[in-house]
């Protein structure tokens, strides 16, 4: 399962935090509008969160973290790799998509 995190600017680490959701990575690709080019950092690193867009920078980010074993077990294309992926959705946009999916 991939982990869905709503991260705020200046999140130094994940201590005491839990992912918002755990969803199959294949489902995350369409649901959160991910692409291989949206990879940001390795799974053990916290990605750089600022986008330069003040509207988004104030509201937080939706990030998907996927482990190497998940990538391998899915047998997905080589351009996908373990780590953090940035979704272009805001947390509110992500919640709306999740509601419409149910």
Residue 101's pLDDT is what? 79
Residue 21's pLDDT is what? 92
Residue 65's pLDDT is what? 86
Report, as an integer, the average pLDDT of 51-63. 69
Residue 68's pLDDT is what? 65
Residue 13's pLDDT is what? 86
Burial of 43 (0-12, 13-18, 19+ CB in 10 A): middle
Residue 58's pLDDT is what? 64
Examine the pLDDT at 77 and tell me if it is beyond 80.
Answer: no
Angle of CA points 61, 89, 75, to nearest 5°: 95
């Amino acid at each position: 399962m991939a982990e869905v995190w709503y991260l705020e600017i200046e999140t130094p680490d994940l201590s005491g935090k839990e992912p918002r959701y755990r969803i199959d990575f294949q489902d995350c690709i369409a649901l959160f509008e991910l692409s291989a080019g949206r990879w940001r950092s390795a799974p053990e690193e916290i990605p750089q969160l600022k986008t330069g867009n003040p509207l988004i920078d104030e509201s937080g980010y939706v990030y998907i973290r996927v482990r190497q074993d998940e990538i391998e077990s899915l047998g997905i294309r080589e351009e996908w790799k373990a780590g953090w992926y940035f979704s272009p959705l805001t947390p509110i946009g992500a919640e709306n998509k999740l509601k419409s999916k149910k």
